[in-house]
Structure 1
Amino acid sequence: MSMLAQADNKTRKKQGASGGGGDGVASAAGGGGGGATPAALADEARRRYLNYALSVITSRALPDVRDGLKPVQRRILYGMWNDLNLTHDAKYKKCAQVVGAIMGPYHPHGDTAIYDALVRMAQDFSLRYPLVDGHGNFGSLDGDAAAAYRYTECRLEKLSDELLNELSQKTVDFRPNYDGTRTEPIVLPSRVPHLLMNGTTGIAVGMATNIPPHHLAELCDALTALVDDSNLTVKQLLKWVKGPDFPTGGEILNSQKELQEIYETGQGSVRLRGEYELEELKKGGQQIVITSIPYTVNKSTLVAKFGEIVRERKLPLIVDVRDESTKDVRIVLELKKDASHELAMAYLYKNTPLQTNFNVNLTCLVPNPENPEVGTPKRLGLKEILQYFLDFRLQVIKRRIQYQLDELKKRVHILEGFEKVYDALDEMIRIIRASEGKQDAAKKLIARFKLDEIQVDAILEMKLYKLARLEILVVQNELKEKRKQIKELEALLKSNPRLWATVKDELAEVKAAYGMQKRRTKVSRGGAEEMTFDAEALIADEDAHVVITRDGWIKRVREVKDPSSTRLREGDAVMTVLAGSLRANLVLFSNFGTAYVTRFNDVPASTGYGDPVQKLFKFDDGERIVAALSLDTRLWRPEKLLGITKQGMGMRFPLAPHLELSTRAGRRYAKTGEGDEIVGVQPVEDKDLVGVLTERTAALVCKVAEINELAGPGKGVTVIKVDEGDRVVDFVVAPQGNKEAGVAFETQKGRKLVLHTGRFEVTGRGGKGHEMSRKDAVKEVARAPLYIPLPEQKKD
């Protein structure tokens, strides 16, 4: 019976005093029927959730430290071995038959859960040492799912015998199955340290486990050493256990000290990366061949990531990607001529799942002396797990020897009965012939020869040829041999050193039979050297141009001869053209007061329309670019910038905080009031003048120095008072006396005007300004694309 059912029964018994047979959740106000007992919802929810949590932890998600199996795995192996006789030398049977045989009497949690566990135990890329021999499509490293269980077949692997063979010798306890119709083992008498050998992963309620697989021969050596010296430390045990050994290979980057800490505490992160080789091409050049990938990484997803990097030219060192894998992993990356493979691999390790972390969590169920049927969850270290397994093996061997001893004693008891009657065969035959039947003969033989019922039953069932002289000698010799074996087994049970020697001998047998495979995962005792990725080294030292349009499209092109001739969507126009090195940064200012900094190289190259700027950054609804600036060091770089909002607020802010790359969310440079937004951002100096134009043609010219400089993002100060229904449409910044720079616009009455800083008298900020066209409004501002070329263009 499950823990949940037991807890429910206890609760019902307590509530049964009220005469109810209900579930205890009916409200006091009504409902329920059948004598339901009212209960507080909070109490019932707490009780049932705890019952559920306990059930998941102890009966589903966590493995037992002794056999390393979860309940579903244990039931699959036991059902295949005991009910279906699907040993390694049997004929394959349909997985559908196996699933049904397990779900019916043992695991009532659905066929999907059983089949998924069965499939995993057959996958050589999931388990280091598979326990099930699958026949058919059992999935692939590319993430392909296994075929439906009506199409696949299976049987046990030979290794599974080591987990199951001693079941018939009463080596472990059994418990009733979920419906009490038969029994199942609480734990399997495993001869192999399966918990560490194959590892496992599971998520319970409030806890989880993630145990990596290890090499069987290393575990056997460590266990043998621990038998010889129980005072060994984890550091000393790592002389034999080099580290995890994943079925997909790879290379572990952790140092010896880091691994020691993981195995001492039972948790930590193992850094794992795929391996590669270099191959020379006949036509010249080299190609990188990925020969292994990290554990649990989907190969097809990894190859797709490689392809995306090549397609988007994020890694120009690689020109082609091919997946030539068969049974072994072989992913080919063709290198550009004279390209550095170290630099290419450093980029792939940093930006793809070719290097991952395996988060170790050695949590499992340990034996509970008070309740042998339910384990206690506990996080263990390496030594504790090994010691639990050794103690378990010692108990299994003791119980096996005791079983053999009991069987020998049973046989000796029968043989002693034969020995008694063989000395008086004629009399025994006469008694049997004179008796009235089997029961009468048994009574007379018991009385005459002082036998018990077991002995008499064996004598009466004995075949006549057993009375021959030679057969009598055989019985006497067997009795002598059996008595000798009993003495040996009794002496063995009393000798702890000899029992531990038996444990060591069996470990040596397991190692010789299954531990000869080579280690698949490389471990460097000093910690492997991690490749450092230098993003600058991948960027070509050449110039480019970034085109930003009014509708928010952005693209990178090699050169721009005429901004008006670049390819645009219908109705769109070029707002800004930025020039700079591919290694230089550029900054984009949005109408919501956020600055986004990226590299020229990170802007997608395009001969078409380009990409929406929202693809590069995390924009809010309605956010758009209002200004941009190249940060190439060859261009003049202002110290301060000025932003004006449509409600006439102005703020000066430094450029310095916006020189370095930002995240996709950008950095704030200004705060805008409700319903307000930035209309533009321009470089300024303290002696400059600024002219501001509103939609109703109001214009104001003031000194930039009057606009406060902000230390951090803020709303600024009023530059021009804007009437209700009016708004700022543009502004111009220029030194005093400069009448060339200005804002050209056309009004709704058809007038073409220009606002420059010399047009009106310089006044203080905060006024309403001058009306440039009475009872008129701005129809369109003639903004020419902003383009500042580099002083010296590089030549390829």
Structure 2
Amino acid sequence: MRAEAEKKTPKKQGGGGGASGAAGGGGGEGFIPASLAEEARRRYINYALSVITSRALPDVRDGLKPVQRRILYGMWNDLNLSFDTKYQKCAQVVGAIMGRYHPHGDASIYDALVRMAQDFSLRYPLVDGHGNFGSLDGDSAAAYRYTECRLDKLATEMLGELERKTVDFRPTYDGTRNEPIVIPARVPQLLMNGTTGIAVGMATNIPPHHLGELVDALVALIENPALLTKDLLKFVKGPDFPTGGQILNDKKELREIYEAGQGSIRIRGEWDTEELKRGGQQIIVTSIPYTVNKSTLVAKIGDLVRERKLPLIVDVRDESTKDVRIVLELKKDANAELVMAYLYKHTPLQTTFGVNLTCLVPSEDNPEVGTPKRLDLKSILQYFLDFRFGVVTRRFQHELGELQKRVHLLEGFEKAYDALDEIIRIIRQSEGKQDAAQKLMARFKLDELQVDAILEMKLYKLARLEILVVQKELKEKRAEIKRIEGILRDKKKVWSTVKDELGEIKGLYNDKRRTKIGGAGSEEVEFSADAFIADEDAHVVLTRDGWVKRVREVKDPSSTRLREGDAVMTVLAGSLKANLVLFSNFGTAYVTRFNDIPASTGYGDPVQKLFKFDDGERVVAAWSLDPRLSAPEKLVGVTKQGMGMRFLLEPHLEVSTRAGRRYAKTGEGDEIIGVHEAAEKDLLAVLTKKTHALVCKVAEVNELAGPGKGVTVIKVDDDDQVVEFLVTAPNQKDARIDFETQKGRKLQLAPAKYGVTGRGGKGHEMSKRDAVADVSRNVVFIPLPEKKD
């Protein structure tokens, strides 16, 4: 850029970067001012295009990314590492590829090389690795100075036609060599092994497939180009992952995925049971989903067992060798289907594979630069067939040219044998090779190639029988030329050749499908969380500062372990299988199981750890929903600003998400101070900070059909707020709010003795020019009913 600027802009004499340089943008002399935004945009687009077309996405024709293509080509062309040669150090391969073809660092090259050698990553490995190339447990491959490699036999099927000018070449990054734009792959590598890549603004995630099924689909498409994706799915049943497993999607879902070029495939590991000699049985996991780390899976199952979330499992062992064998030893009389249903839901033993059939499609204007497109199944197969048609055509054209060259030479030999004595005389009388060549071309009407071949011919070929050999070869070569010319004139014959070669590939490399297709049967046991929860009673302790824990029993709430300055607010009793509901000051109800509250002998956990609380949100009330306890039908809540709302408990009986369910709405700066059980004939007593008290009938508070702000129970001044409220039956004389004022007065608000008025007033001031200093609150603890003998 600087050199270009210097040509256009004459250098000024004298003072260097003075005022004129500053006015021009601060670049000094020899630079052209440019917009930072425009330059950033241009360079980012260039970077994005480079990543998309030259690194992250595979080509639809040979199914390879540039780094993979360069590794295979370098091993074939430069290092001669065929499947029947000796292994060579991977360090030598990586160095050769990086120095000659792919200057992007040794790590990226070696990672790609390792992946092409892993039989758990590629359905059909292209590199034959010798040494430690990683494992299903997530172990990394050894350093490239310790490992060795060579091409797998299948890879030679992709590279064998390179010498026949079947594909175009381009200069390498430094211009010292040429490399193929694509390799003439005889196998549908893109779908056969799949690929994963993340570009800029797009990505690809293509699952591997069974080679035999792909060949059948390709042959069917050659015979009937009008076939649609849905027709091709009669041959391609679905992905075939190298680690096996079972695909749960039905045929309709798979069809939608292959027609759209994207979707999610649900895959799970397979299992079987073994009977133990001492009685009982154990589960044997025989396959795991694709890309799942086996050691992580085993550790996850072990954690569930240690946390007593899987009490039906006694022991977990990984006895895998080359094949997967994860042993889950069960308790006697345990239901294996039930255990697996839990594992499928809570571990990576069942996962999803996000399909994204995006790849580079050659453009008509510039075949060297592909265009990223998301394709359906038929389009991918058709692109491959069109590519193979072109490769086979060019191969025949190359063979025809070579045959024609040979025939041309043989015709020269034939002329030479017809006048052998005269040719020998001319050569003997000539003054050298050049003179002899000129005389022979003039006498027998031969060209330079023919004459040169005659002059280089060895003496033993002048024997009488050699003319018969020449004539026989000439006859064979002319027949072969005629055959190839006939093929090139008829597209059907070229397609027939493509089809026959695909059949040969299937015959050589076809194997059994590893991944089963089809969803779970109707007899499969559905997951039930209750089946894995012990039938025991427990207590949940909730503190005023928002700490919660589960304990076996509570004899005295005041003796439980608490943080300094904290106090017990509520103790809930219930079965581990029962639910409990927590009401927050922001109008949200959170429902969970007793079993999901962490057990602890210490302080417990912050309640925010279990749910998605907003800033300042806290629990103001809680209820056990154990069926042995009579849960209230209706509840009433009161806010600081004197609003009241009645609502049903019924919508809050089932387990909620971490975000909870709304039961009320609060105004700006307002919050709910508590929630109490409320019957239709009950009284509601409200106390404010300034000792204003009001008692009204609960029935006057409207019942909400959905989350709302409610109605005014008591009017409070801007500098006042509700501090406590009470709901009680009209005849319950011992129900009261005990509080102490700032002047030291100890007062009681007893609804049975206090005058009942309508809601919405300012209430009666219980202590003139005074304020509430402290309110006595009892721990809410409703124990479970005692079991009857």
TM-score above 0.5: yes
Q: Distance in 2 between matches of 1:467 and 1:63?
A: 56
Aligned pair partner of 1:512 in 507, 514, 527? 507
Alignment of 1:632-781 (within 5 A): 632-694=626-688, 699-717=693-711, 719-720=713-714, 728-745=722-739, 754-758=748-752, 760-765=754-759, 766-767=761-762, 769-771=764-766, 778-779=773-774, 781=775
In 1, Cα distance between equivalents of 2:431 and 2:257? 77
The corresponding residue for 1:87 is 82
- Post-superposition Cα deviations, 1:400-448, rounded to whole Å, max 9, x if no partner, equal 1221222122222222223323344444344334333332232222223
2:323 and 2:748 map into 1 onto residues whose CA distance is: 72
Change in Cα spacing, 1:460 to 1:664, as seen in structure 2 (3 Å) is same
Q: Is the 8 A contact 2:100 2:172 kept in 1?
A: yes
- How many residues align? The count is 779
CA contact (8 A) 2:121 2:242 kept: yes
Does residue 568 of structure 2 align to residue 574 of structure 1? yes
Are residue 448 (structure 1) and residue 443 (structure 2) matched? yes
| Partner Cα separation in structure 1 for residue 726 and residue 520 of structure 2 | 63
Query: Does the residue aligned with 2:596 lie in a helix, a strand or coil?
Result: coil
Q: Could you say if the C-alpha distance between residues 649 and 526 of structure 1 is closer, same or farther in structure 2, counting changes exceeding 3 Å?
A: closer
Please show how residues 583-598 of structure 1 align to structure 2 within 5 Å: 583-598=577-592
Inter-partner Cα distance in structure 2 for 1:114 and 1:52? 20
Structure 2: distance between partners of 1:527 and 1:384: 33
Aligned partners of 1:54 and 1:281: how far apart in 2? 60
Q: CA deviation at 1:213?
A: 1.0
Q: CA deviation at 1:162?
A: 0.4
Q: How does 1:14-413 map to 2 (within 5 A)?
A: 29-32=24-27, 36-38=31-33, 43-413=38-408
**Separation of aligned partners in 1, 2:231 and 2:620:** 65
Q: Distance in 2 between matches of 1:30 and 1:442?
A: 71
Mapped partners of 2:374, 2:6: distance in 1: 39
CA offset at residue 792 of structure 1?
5.3
Larger mean CA deviation between 701-710 and 221-230 belongs to 701-710
Given the superposition, is the C-alpha separation of residues 346 and 505 from structure 1 closer, same or farther in structure 2, using an over 3 Å criterion?
same
- Who is 1:415 aligned against? 410
Query: What residue number does 1:613 align with?
Result: 607
Alpha carbons of structure 1 residues 393 and 322: separation in structure 2 relative to 1, 3 Å: same
> Given that residues 585 and 600 in structure 1 are in contact (C-alpha distance below 8 angstroms), is that contact kept between their aligned partners in structure 2?
yes
Q: Structure 2: how far apart are the matches of 1:231 and 1:540?
A: 60
| Structure 2 residue matching 1:418: 3-state secondary structure | helix
Q: CA deviation at 1:661?
A: 2.2
SS at match of 2:538: strand
Deviation at 1:521, TM superposition (A): 0.3
Superimposed CA distance per residue, residues 80-132 of structure 1 (whole angstroms, 9 cap, x where no aligned partner): 11112122222323323222222223223333322222221111111100111
Cα distance in 2 for partners of 1:47, 1:742 equals 76
SS in 2 for 1:272: strand
Shift of 1:735: 1.8
The residue number in structure 1 matching 2:497 is 502
Contact 2:741-2:770 at 8 Å conserved across structures: no
Distance 1:241 1:651, change over 3 A: closer
Q: Deviations over 1:256-306 (max 9, x none)?
A: 233233333333332211111112222322222211111122223322332
Deviations along 1:27-66, one digit per CA (max 9) or x if unpaired, are 9842445655555555555544444443333322222222
> What is the aligned partner in structure 2 of residue 462 from structure 1?
457
Contact 2:739–2:772 (8 Å) recurs in 1? no
Counterpart of 1:98, as a letter, is V
CA–CA distance in structure 2, aligned partners of residues 27 and 211 of structure 1: 54
Q: Distance in 2 between matches of 1:644 and 1:525?
A: 52
- Whether the 8 Å CA contact 2:114–2:141 is kept in 1: the answer is yes
**Distance in 1, Cα, partners of 2:152 & 2:635:** 73
Give, in whole Å, the separation in 2 of the partners of 1:97 and 1:785: 75
Shift of the alpha carbon at 1:522?
A: 0.7
Local SS of the residue matching 2:61: coil
Q: Which shifted more, 76-85 or 329-338?
A: 329-338
Instruction: Tell me whether 1:432 sits opposite 2:427 in the alignment.
Output: yes
- CA shift in 2, pair 1:776/1:535, >3 Å: closer
Q: Give me the whole-angstrom Cα distance separating, in 2, the residues matched to 1:602 and 1:97.
A: 56
Offset at residue 654 of structure 1 (A): 3.2
CA distance in 1, matches of 2:62, 2:176: 25
- TM-score between both structures, scaled by the size of structure 1: 0.89
- Please state if 1:603 is matched with 2:597: yes
Secondary structure of the residue that 2:352 maps to in structure 1?
A: strand
Mark the runs of 5 or more structure 2 residues left unpaired by the alignment.
12-20
Which one-letter code corresponds to 1:55 in the other structure? S
1:556 to 540, 550, 557: 550
Aligned partner of 1:481 among 476, 484, 494 = 476
Contact residue 690 and residue 765 of structure 2 kept, 8 A = no
The amino acid that maps onto 1:635 is L
Identity of aligned residues (%): 75
1:160 offset after TM fit, Å? Answer: 0.5
DSSP-derived class of the 1:244 partner: coil
Residues of 2 paired with 1:412 and 1:59: CA distance?
43
Deviates more, 1:751-760 or 1:638-647: 751-760
CA distance in 2, matches of 1:383, 1:530: 35
SS in 1 for 2:161: helix
What is the Cα deviation at residue 159 of structure 1? 0.8
Using the alignment, how far apart are the partners of 1:262 and 1:710 within structure 2? 46
Secondary structure of the corresponding residue to residue 510 of structure 1: helix
- Structure 1 residues 709 and 255, CA gap change in structure 2 (3 angstroms): closer
Note the C-alpha offset of 1:757: 2.2
Amino acid at match of 1:641: L
Contact 1:445–1:456 (8 Å) recurs in 2: yes
Q: For 1:292, give the aligned amino acid.
A: S
* Secondary structure at 1:783 match in 2: coil
SS in 2 for 1:484: helix
Q: Which residue of 2 aligns with 1:622?
A: 616
Q: 1:303 to 1:769 in 2, by over 3 A?
A: farther
What CA deviation, in whole Å up to 9, does each residue of 1:222-262 have, x standing for no partner? 22333333344434433332221111101112222332333
Indicate the residue corresponding to 1:5 in structure 2: none
Of stretches 606-615 and 175-184 in structure 1, the one that deviates more from structure 2 is 606-615
Please give the secondary structure, in 2, of the residue aligned with 1:246: coil
Q: Following the alignment from structure 1 to structure 2, what is the Cα–Cα distance between the partners of residues 224 and 677? A: 71
* Contact 1:27–1:38 (Cα < 8 Å) also in 2: no
Q: How big is the shift at 1:212?
A: 1.4
Pair 452,551 (structure 1): closer, same or farther in 2 beyond 3 Å = same
State the SS of the aligned residue for 1:408: helix
TM-score when normalising by structure 2: 0.90
- Residue 574 to residue 319, structure 1, CA distance change in 2 (3 Å): farther
The amino acid of 1:156's aligned partner reads L
Counterpart contact for 1:249–1:521, Cα < 8 Å: yes
Q: Give me the CA root mean square deviation.
A: 3.3
Contact 1:699 1:772 in 2 (8 A): no
Residues of 2 paired with 1:453 and 1:459: CA distance?
10
| Structure-1 separation of matches of 2:7 and 2:565 | 82
CA distance in 2, matches of 1:160, 1:572: 70
Say if 1:761 and 1:266 are closer, same or farther in 2 by CA, change over 3 A.
closer
Letter matched to residue 102 of structure 1: I
Which amino acid in the other structure matches residue 616 of structure 2?
G
Q: Which residue of 2 aligns with 1:3?
A: none
The answer to whether the 8 A contact 2:247-2:266 is kept is: yes
